[in-house]
Structure 1
Amino acid sequence: MAAALGQSQDYRVLRRLIPRSITTSPVDQAVKTGILLDVETTGLDLQKDEIIELGMVKFDYVGDGRIVGVRDVFASFNEPSIPIPAEVTSLTGITDEMVAGHRIDASAVESFVQDAVIVIAHNAAFDRKFAERFWSVFEHKAWGCSATEVEWRRHGFAGAQLGYLLNGAGFFHHAHRAVDDCHALVEILSVELAPAGAPALAVLLEQARKKTIRVWAEQSPFELKDILKRRGYRWSDGSDGRPRSWYIDVGETAAESEIAFLRTEIFLRDEPRLQTLTAFTRFSRRL
């Protein structure tokens, strides 16, 4: 019945996501190892909030971006120093009782991650900062973001939200655990993207390898903030050690035009501060 519906133009079939079994990669293929990571926390504040769950799926992939096997899975709760806020429990399903007495083993995390050449999260700007705060091994890894480093809408998806992407890949799940979202990413990154003629993972890796330039519009006039927002600039309030300023990340080739925009439209007194970002520094709390 599902096969018949799937061949119809009037129906779409969604199948329950069943995590892939742990397998050994074929010995006749040259593979690289990646990590899919997700953290759940007591809140969004990097300085005071804590991780309450860490989920990771270790996978092997080949040169063309095809995932050829899941090698291992890591899932662990962590009891925070404060009660889990009610809104976090409502969102994640994680309660104080579930995490009571649990600690994430730092040596086990380091051992699990050590041989990976890239760590991918669906919101790397959030997950990387928390992961680096608790485990230094993540500071030395290349990172990719499955939410922002693939132009999902251009490839026919309704948006970059994990549920949309999973449905677009032909699956659904009702899971709330961090590791379940990692299993979902395995299937999402395995989807062939028609315009690219390649798996989503290949598109992500190509983008992650590129350098980007962070342009800071420091001391820009307050009354011009809406112009900056419309152009895609984001605000840094300076609380994490970064400048208190608007900024934008652009490709290397677009940096000069961005500087020209600031000179003509924002009238900065000084040359804008520039930072070159790579997969090893992008999304990091050390910037």
Structure 2
Amino acid sequence: MLQDTTDLGAMAETLSRSPDYRVLRRLVARPRYVPTLGQHVRTGVLLDTETTGLDHAKDEIIELGMVKFDYAADGRIVGVRDTFSAFNEPSCPISPEVMALTGITDAMVAGHRFDDAAVAAFVDDAVIVIAHASGFDRKFAERYWPVFEHKAWGCSATEIDWRKHGFAGAQLGYLLNGAGYFHQAHRAVDDCHALLEVLDFVLPTTGAPALALLLETARRPTLRVWAERTAFELKDSLKRRGYRWNDGSDGRPKSWYIDVDETALDDEIAFLRTQIYMQDVEPGVQRLTAFTRFSGRI
């Protein structure tokens, strides 16, 4: 006999109140809402792409998913305004590796093309675009649609220290489980719905939604310090410090670099002078904001 769904809900609620159990609920996408007149909210867009590869200069987007949502000043998500989901047929067949990773086949994208005007209209009123890998997604999005060049961006994977707030890591599935949900991701827009619930989750360490912390971090300028012309044997020291390597193929320096808060700049310069260069040098420094961070143009 099938268990009555009302009974199942009551059982789940009872279990969730016990310290010995954790209950995961299947994620159900929120219905669209209509903002009321005079409501003080801002609009954001969650974005996810699937591509034919990792090179934003030559690989192609084969799927775009977006969820437009309103949020309050305290970071609480008020409601979903709209969703966007579309396929795009690339110029070459999708590789077996990408098909295995994304579940997207040539047959699924055949004959599909992005409606560029629809994409631009969808994000036009958003004050911020958030992706769970903005360092990847922003570069692709800007190449296809210039509207994204003029938007502030936030990265939910890197601009929140999830481990510090009790999560096992920054992978979306881990975060969703930590927020009390599970989902069977099939489309890019499904991951956007999952990210929405993760960002609306109240962090026990702050008492506020994760989105509030992300917005606070995104608003702060950061400084990118380039450690150019460093000795090869010092690469491990730089990696331990958190530096990343740029191979120069994107027009930026072929160099190690790190992004730091303004308050940490003096310490970083001191590290390079005393541990790396052993002399009084002036490394190259770029100032980044939400409007330039993660962009391939910088």
Instruction: Give me the TM-score of the superposition, normalised by structure 2.
Output: 0.95
Higher Cα Rg, which structure: 2
Aligned to 1:87: 97
Distance (Å, rounded) in 1 between the aligned partners of 2:246 and 2:20: 47
5+ residue gaps, structure 1: none
Aligned to 2:247: 237
Residues 1-287 of structure 1 mapped to structure 2, 5 A cutoff: 1-267=11-277, 270-287=281-298
Give, in angstroms, the shift of residue 280 of structure 1: 0.2
Distance (Å, rounded) in 2 between the aligned partners of 1:55 and 1:137: 16
Aligned to 2:4: none
Residues 60 and 102 of structure 1, relative CA distance in 2, 3 Å threshold: same
Larger mean CA deviation between 168-177 and 226-235 belongs to 168-177
Give, in angstroms, the shift of residue 176 of structure 1: 2.3
SS of equivalent to 1:276: strand
List, as ranges, runs of 4+ consecutive aligned residues in structure 1 with deviation greater than 4 Å: none
Residues 268 and 48 of structure 1, relative CA distance in 2, 3 Å threshold: farther
SS of equivalent to 1:184: helix
Distance (Å, rounded) in 1 between the aligned partners of 2:224 and 2:204: 31
Residue identity in the other structure for 1:284: S
Distance (Å, rounded) in 2 between the aligned partners of 1:133 and 1:28: 36
Residue identity in the other structure for 1:97: A
Asked if structure 2 preserves the Cα contact closer than 8 Å seen for 1:38 and 1:54, the reply is yes
- Number of residue pairs the alignment of both structures matches: 287
Asked if structure 2 preserves the Cα contact closer than 8 Å seen for 1:43 and 1:49, the reply is yes
Asked if structure 2 preserves the Cα contact closer than 8 Å seen for 1:220 and 1:268, the reply is no
Give, in angstroms, the shift of residue 194 of structure 1: 1.6
5+ residue gaps, structure 2: 1-10
Larger mean CA deviation between 260-269 and 225-234 belongs to 260-269
Q: What RMSD in Å do the two structures reach over aligned CA positions?
A: 1.0
Distance (Å, rounded) in 1 between the aligned partners of 2:278 and 2:230: 6
Instruction: Give me the TM-score of the superposition, normalised by structure 1.
Output: 0.98
